Structure formats: structure tokens, C-alpha cells
Structure 1
Amino acid sequence: MKVLLVENDLNFTTVLKMEFEFNNIELYTYSDPKNALTLDENIDHIILDQKLGEYNGIDFIPNFKKKWPLARLVVLTGHGSITSTVDAVKKGADDYLIKPISFPLLLATIKGNRADIQNVLENEEMSLERKEREHIEFVLGQCDGNISKAAKILGLHRQSLQRKLKKYTPK
């Protein structure tokens, strides 16, 4: 399986890259949709962020669907709305997800198996550890990956935050 991820959040991309590698899934990552369209590979699934710096990923959906018509395209955003969901689907998106999202749900969604998606949703519980991890990832993203700044905002020592981040990294 080959997946194209177009995402400009470096921390989120790094986490997803580790998850895909752990699951033996080939992942191509780009932060710019125009550069992503130059990829010369057969792609099975596309994960497209909505807000990509100066670009709106939704505007590029027709281009991605034209280049890879058989690929399942999922828009992933931290800024969802009904209007943008409708726009994305009208332009050819197969699904639209709001961050934060668990990897099992993302994987089930890009594969498009509704039974698997429902199973993940029913079995997924928002554990305290997951909430903590997602909050740390959010704050770290707001701090552009600056661990010292994020630690200060979170009220942690820098080394404590680094230990927590290491704990969340899949082995």
C-alpha cells in the first residue's frame, strides 16, 4: 500500500511517518501540494491537510483526483466546518476527518472499510494518556516544535516533557 501525505505540520507528519512505518506502509510526505503533484508513483491513498500555509488543500483535490483517479482521498484538518466538508466532498474527497485523530481510525478511514471504521469508533476510548499526548502534541505544534517553550506553557521541566514525548514514540 502506498500513501501520500500532504501535511505542513512537521510534528504531526513525524508521528504519522512512524505509525505508517510501524505498520509496513509506504508513505510519501510533502508539505506543499504543488510539489506533491510532481510525485511519480502509483498512489493508493491520499491524506490531504486542509490548511497548507498559503494554500487550501481542498482547492487541490481535483488535481490529485486527476493524477491518481483510483486513489482514495481523505481530507484531514484541525479547522473543520460543514461548509468545508461539503466543498471537499463536492470536489472529490472520499472522506473528511478532524484532528486530533487516532492512527487506527485514520488507517481504517483511508482504507474505506466502513465496518472497520465503526469497529474502531466503538472500541476506541479516550484514555487519560491519549488526552495528555494529544494536548502535548497540540501545544508543541503551537510552539513550532520548540520543546523548551512548550514545556514552559505546559508547566513541565524540559526534560520531563522530553521523557513524555519519548514514551509516546512507537518502538
Structure 2
Amino acid sequence: MSADGECSLLIVEDDAAFARTLKRSFERRGYRVAMAASVEEARAMLDVVSPAYAVVDLKLGAASGLAVVQALHERDAAMLIVVLTGFASIATAVEAIKLGACNYLVKPSNTDNIEAAFSQQGGNVDVPFAARPTSIKTLEWERIHETLAETGFNISETARRLGMHRRTLARKLGKRWVPES
């Protein structure tokens, strides 16, 4: 935080209840918080505020929060940006870091996790290796979800791209459906 005890923070989150909860929590910690719920609102907010920190949801409706990360980083390369997501994947984590995020967290994450992520800008050479390799089911689900996101959650187009019958994809999604937020 700055010498006056306040830092500016931009929260870009389309889940209004979660955004309000984060806002209140960060305000109790001395942050001045601005909020946006879409890529367009976030870009417009940059004309009004110059945040030192940002928390960006990866999926903003049908849009990608990565566009916000890129815009924030282009505006101020020193801004510390944490991406939050319920749709974690290696591909989006890599892209988020490439575009300027300092960290990438999986929901649910709280204010303590986010503040810790702001302070962990460098890599950790001591991070443990996974105890076991990723399962085929997990890899399949990640590929299905990645393709779903690419197609704007169009089931028919996703099935076509994956080379599977639409009903087969629908059954798989019925077993492990993740909401779009």
C-alpha cells in the first residue's frame, strides 16, 4: 500500500454479488475500489481511474477477461493484475501471464489469496511437482471446455470441432457441467 494507507484497485467481475463482496473486503483493508462488469466498462473505467492493482475475471459474459488484462497492462505495465477464474487451464494461465498478469488464481479465492498473489510477482523454483500425471478424463474435460469457450458455448459447433456426436457431448456435459461465469 502507499504511504497514505490507500491504494487503488479495479475489480472486473460480472458476478455482481462476488464483486460487491470483494469490494467491501478490499475497502476494509484500505483500498479505493472501482468496479466494472465487462470489457467495455473496464476500458471506460481507465479514463477515470489509474489503479495500482486489478482483479480480473477470466470469463466476462461471452467475452474474455484476457482482453482486459491486455488493456490494463498496455495502460500501465507496473500495474499488478491477478486473474480469477472458475475455468482454469494451462493455456489461459500462460496467456494471462504473457499479457501482463502477475498471477492467476482459481475460484473460489478470497481477499487474502488475492493480496498474497499481488506480492508473489516472481516465480517459485521450489514449487512441488504434481504427485501424479493428469488423468485422461481431466485432459478430455479441459479440451471440451476449451473448445466450448472458443465457440461461445455453442454445443453443436463444439461437437463438430471435437468430432463427436452432439448427444455424446451433451451427455458428457450433463455429467460435469460448469456454468458460464
Query: What band does the TM-score fall into relative to the shorter chain?
Result: 0.5 to 0.7
Deviations 1:122-150 (A, max 9, x none): xxxxxxxxxxxxxxxxxxxxxxxxxxxxx
State whether structure 2 residue 10 is matched by structure 1 residue 4: yes
Deviation at 1:110, TM superposition (A): 2.3
Q: Unpaired segments of 5 or more residues in structure 2? A: 1-6, 123-181
Q: How many Å apart are 1:112 and its aligned residue? A: 3.7
Structure number with the bigger relative contact order (C-alpha 8 A, sep ≥ 6) is: 1
Q: Note the residue ranges of structure 1 that are not aligned, 5 or more in a row.
A: 115-171
Q: 1:20 aligns with which of 26, 29, 35?
A: 26
Pairwise CA distance, 1:113: 6.5
Mapped partners of 2:83, 2:107: distance in 1: 10
Q: Distance in 2 between matches of 1:43 and 1:68?
A: 9
Q: Which of 43, 47, 68 lines up with 2:51 in the alignment?
A: 43
CA distance in 2, matches of 1:23, 1:55: 30
Amino-acid identity (%): 28
The answer as to 2:82 corresponding to 1:71 is no
Distance in 1 of aligned mates of 2:77 and 2:23: 24
Task: Work out whether residues 4 and 28 of structure 1, in 8 Å CA contact, stay in contact via their aligned partners in 2.
Answer: yes
* Cα distance change on mapping 1:82 and 1:113 into 2, 3 Å: closer
Q: Please, what TM-score do these two structures have when normalized by structure 2? A: 0.59
Question: C-alpha displacement at 1:25, in angstroms?
Answer: 1.0
| SS in structure 2 at match of 1:92 | coil
Query: Residue 87 in 1 paired to residue 95 in 2?
Result: yes
CA distance in 2, matches of 1:69, 1:3: 15
| Over 4 Å off, 4+ runs | none
Q: How many residues align?
A: 114
Bigger Rg over Cα: 2
Matched residue, 1:52? 60
Name the TM-score, length of structure 1 as normaliser. Answer: 0.62
> Letter of the aligned partner of 2:118 in structure 1?
I
Instruction: Point out the structure with the larger helix share.
Output: 1
Shift of 1:3: 0.4
Quick check: 2:11–2:23 contact (8 Å CA) kept in 1?
no
Provide the alpha-carbon RMSD of the alignment: 1.5
The code of the aligned residue for 2:35 comes to T
CA shift digits 1:94-117 (9 cap, x unpaired): 110000012211122124467xxx
8 Å Cα contact 1:45-1:111 kept in structure 2: no
Post-superposition Cα deviations, 1:10-51, rounded to whole Å, max 9, x if no partner, equal 111111111012112111010012211122222101111000
Determine helix, strand or coil for the equivalent of 1:38: helix
